[in-house]
Copies of this chain bind each other. A is one copy, B any other.
Amino acid sequence: MTVTIIGIGLIGGSIAIGLYESGFATEIIGVEASEKHAQKALDLGLVNRILPLDEAIAASDMVIVATPVNSLTTLLPIVLDKIRNQVVLEVGSTKMNVAEAVKSHPKRQNFIATHPMAGTEFSGPEAAIPKLFEGKVCVLCDVEQCSHGTKELVEKMYKNLKMRVIYMDSENHDVHTAYISHISHITSFALALTVLEKEKDEDAIFDLASTGFQSTVRLAKSNPDTWIPIFEQNRDNVLDVLDEHIHILSTMRSHLIKRRFTEFYEMIEKANDIRRILK
């Protein structure tokens, strides 16, 4: 099968590796807005060819859109306009915007919105790695709106990436990902800014950064080109969970100011509850 991937970055590139290595794809065609990324993707052997959008779609059986989420509302209808009967999917981190953009398209049933829950703090074609998705979860959204064949092929594709597939509607997807994934990026960006603002001695940061700090601040290295569009598309849910987060930090602050260490202790005991869910 020939697969076109639009956007050969961390996610698109890692999908390319996985689909080629598993044998699901016999040829990968890349579509890339950045000439530099296109050349890099060829040099790294992530794709067999780079083609313009029209030619790529015409030559392939499946089209995967892996561009930042702000481009999807414009790009997806264009892609769907150009297909004959190929399957189209996108792999972004927000879904309500996508659902809205494709909802009345005549080719709606050829399309499926997916969210492979995997990534690293790096970006671009050189960030693409084998096995990024292995053992992770992929969310398929609003599957009742695509054809049986579309769903089956996409499920087979994610099985080839060794992912576990779960199902959700777009609205729930955006709420849950804000509550779990998007807020952790916010806290990590804010932690990095806090440390950079308060700690002017960079040697101290380097020397005193234990594995604990490094683990908490890791996501702060993530690309704003990926994340600002996510915060923009999922603004209301992110605000909702951010309000709660600021409220909790303010409560901790009051406990510290008033030396209420028993209450603070109880908060931390409650936080430890995360152990029950994440071993």
- Given A224-B268, A261-B228: A216 in contact with B187 (beta carbons within 8 A): yes
**A216 partner residues in chain B, CB cutoff 8 A:** 184, 187-188, 215-216, 218-219
Tell me the complex Cα distance, A67–B186, Å: 34
Q: Are B242 and A206 in contact (CB under 8 A)?
A: no
Q: Are A192 and B117 in contact (CB under 8 A)?
A: no
- Given A180-B204, A186-B252, A205-B180: A228 in contact with B264 (beta carbons within 8 A): yes
**A273 to B, closest residue via Cβ:** B196
- Given A191-B184, A253-B242, A265-B224: A274 in contact with B217 (beta carbons within 8 A): yes
Q: Are A193 and B267 in contact (CB under 8 A)?
A: yes
Q: Are A190 and B249 in contact (CB under 8 A)?
A: yes
Q: Are A274 and B192 in contact (CB under 8 A)?
A: yes
Q: Are B191 and A209 in contact (CB under 8 A)?
A: no
Q: Chain A: how many interface residues by the 8 Å CB criterion?
A: 91
Interface centre among A199, A208, A265 (most CB of B within 10 A): A208
Residue in contact with A194 in the complex, picked from B120, B121, B207, B244, CB distance below 8 Å:
B244
8 Å CB contacts to B: which residues of A231-278?
Answer: 231-232, 235, 238-246, 248-250, 252-253, 256-257, 259, 261, 264-265, 267-278
**A98 partner residues in chain B, CB cutoff 8 A:** none
Tell me the complex Cα distance, A134–B170, Å: 46
**A137 partner residues in chain B, CB cutoff 8 A:** 207-208
Q: Are A180 and B195 in contact (CB under 8 A)?
A: yes
- Does A183 interact with chain B (Cβ within 8 Å)? yes
The smallest beta-carbon distance between A154 and chain B, in angstroms, is: 18
**A189 to B, closest residue via Cβ:** B271
- Does A136 interact with chain B (Cβ within 8 Å)? yes
- Does A24 interact with chain B (Cβ within 8 Å)? no
- Does A144 interact with chain B (Cβ within 8 Å)? no
**A139 partner residues in chain B, CB cutoff 8 A:** 207-208
- Does A118 interact with chain B (Cβ within 8 Å)? yes
Beyond A181-B212, A190-B249, A232-B259, list 4 extra A-B contacts (CB 8 Å).
A177-B208, A187-B249, A205-B277, A216-B216
Q: Can you list 7 A-B contacts with CB-CB less than 8 angstroms, sorted by A residue number?
A: A119-B211, A184-B216, A193-B248, A209-B278, A224-B272, A235-B256, A239-B256
Question: Closest 5 CB pairs between A and B?
Answer: A224-B268, A192-B271, A184-B216, A192-B274, A189-B271
